[in-house]
Amino acid sequence: MIPLLTMVLVIGVVFLAAADETPIKLGAVNPLGDITGAQMTKAMQLAVDEINAAGGVLGRPLELIVMDSEFNPAKGAAAIEKLVTVDKVDVLIGGMSSGVHMGEIPILKKYQKVTVWAGAASHVCEDALKDCDWYFHLHPWDYLQGESYVKGWADIVDKYPDVKIHKVFVAYEDGAFGTTSYQGTVAAFKDWDVSGESFKSAALGGGDYTAVLQHAKAANPDLFLWIGYGADALPIMEQAKAIGFEPPIFVGSPPGWPVDFGKSPLANDVVLYGMWAPSMKNVNPVSKHFWDAYIAKYNEEPATYFCPLGYTNVYIVAQAIERAGSLDKEALIKALEETKYDSPLGETVTFTPSNAIKHQGFQGQKILQWQNGEQQVIWPFEYSTADLVYPFHFGGE
């Protein structure tokens, strides 16, 4: 017969062992049908697998549970509800699209679960999350992006004496994304002569940019900026070339580019905005590790900055839980506030107050340029991978 004390010890050991195997659940809501959400999800799983292979967090494995928002605010909200009430996740992560996030925010505020959100740039989302101490945000807000572009172009003009920017024309898609982005551009660049005109995006049934491009050509801008979606990218370039519109600086600002856009000769020397580019794969040891590990696991290259952003998202949460020593809400918030993470996007992430929320991570975007099929970083100069090609000519001719 086994002595009672021995039985208690055995049961206790078994119980503790079982408790150690209980996963810490991270719940993400990503648009899985889009390359941004698909690659972000893969990068999150890569981070989870790496952390579990190294022993997990607090001796427990991480589990990633992902819901598809389908770029639909109602589905995003329903996904948050399920992750909290059914899956009982410990932390909410991921996400992109300000429109979707506006639908999710009431549910987030209902449960006040610790949240480290990767995407969404609209200050309207930020305003709706004022005084939510449990909310941490990674992607720069729209006005932070605008501030970074103002500084970036000022630095570029200083470095490249041939570059002159006084007159700017903005062609923007006529939805909320394009309209608010255009308004933000006008507000940010107070020293520029900015004018603009809307168009109907190919993503929403449009695709004829002839009129707006003709008006842009007549305005003879130093810098032309179009704000739309990936579906607009090649048609705009084709139609601009057809009418002989070659501004000295040709900028495109979609949330994501078509996968094969860089293979087109029309892409060469087009400027773009973003948080990261594949050319940054060797910018620091974390970036190199992320690049190599992602390709080894998925046999494809990261193509969107949401990919390293998702990887960053998981590591920031995992390291904070380890520092907190538990999943206690207040301890975890305090640990997240102490974040100092060297990210594959180049920057070291910390959380500081922004206009309305207490915990903002990244502070701006980078200015990039398509060169010979690759996105090169032009600014900030500390991450620069190539010099600016100026002025723009179709096909780099």
Look up the pTM and report it. Answer: 0.85
Please state the length of the chain. 397
| pLDDT score of 259 more than 80 | no
Residue showing tokens 């893969």 = 42
Q: pLDDT grade, residue 249 (50/70/90)?
A: very high
pLDDT at residue 397, rounded to an integer? 53
Radius of gyration of the chain (CA): 23
Question: Could you tell me which residues are beta bridge partners of residue 358?
Answer: none
In the chain, count H helices and then E strands: 12, 14
Nearest of 37, 91, 36 to residue 62 by alpha carbon: 91
What is the spatial distance between Cα 64 and Cα 48, in angstroms, rounded to a whole number? 7
The Cα-based distances of 296 to 35, 44, 290, 291, 354 in angstroms read 18, 15, 10, 9, 37
Give the model's pLDDT for residue 309. 97
Q: What is the distance between the alpha carbons of residues 168 and 220, in angstroms, rounded to a whole number?
A: 9
- For position 317, what pLDDT does the model report? 98
List helix spans (H) across the chain. Answer: 4-20, 35-53, 73-85, 98-111, 123-128, 142-159, 176-188, 210-219, 233-242, 285-298, 306-324, 329-337
Alpha carbons 377 and 394: distance in angstroms, whole number: 20
Structure tokens at 226: 């179009």
User: Poorest-confidence range of 110-114, 167-171, 254-258?
Assistant: 254-258
Average pLDDT, the chain: 92
pLDDT at 20: 64
Q: Report residue 303's pLDDT band, with 50, 70 and 90 as the boundaries.
A: confident
SS3 content of the chain, % helix, strand, coil (to 5): 45, 20, 35
User: Residue 168: which H helix or E strand, with range?
Assistant: strand 167-173
3-state secondary structure of 207: coil
For tokens 């209902």, the residue is: 110
What tokens appear for 25 in the block? 């659940």
* pLDDT, tens only, 141-164: 988 998 999 999 999 999 999 999
pLDDT, tens only, 44-75 = 999 999 999 999 999 999 999 999 999 899 99
The C-alpha atoms of residue 269 and residue 250 are separated, in whole angstroms, by 8
Phi-psi region of 345 (alpha: psi -120 to 50; beta: other; left: phi over 0): alpha
**pLDDT grade, residue 13 (50/70/90)?**
very low
State percent of the chain over pLDDT 70: 94
Nearest to 337 by CA among 168, 61, 136, 99: 136
Six-digit token string for 294: 């992602």
In this prediction, residue 6 has a pLDDT band, given cuts at 50, 70 and 90, of: very low
Query: Is the model's pLDDT at 310 over the cut of 70?
Result: yes
Residue 140 pLDDT level (bands cut at 50, 70, 90): very high
pLDDT bucket at 181, cuts 50 / 70 / 90: confident
What distance in Å separates the CA atoms of residue 24 and residue 186, rounded to the nearest whole number? 45
Dihedral Cα 326, 332, 335, 339, nearest 10 deg: 120
More confident residue, 143 or 9: 143
pLDDT value at 224 more than 80: yes
Q: pLDDT at position 129, please?
A: 97
Residue 4 pLDDT more than 50? no
SS3 state at 35: helix
pLDDT of residue 17: 45
Nearest to 253, CA basis, from 194, 177, 310: 177
pLDDT of residue 19: 53
Phi, psi of 5 (to 5 degrees): -60, -40
Q: How does residue 254 score in pLDDT terms, banded at 50, 70 and 90?
A: confident
- pLDDT over threshold 80, residue 238: yes
Number of Cβ within 10 Å of residue 13's Cβ equals: 10
Q: Which residue has the higher pLDDT, 341 or 96?
A: 341
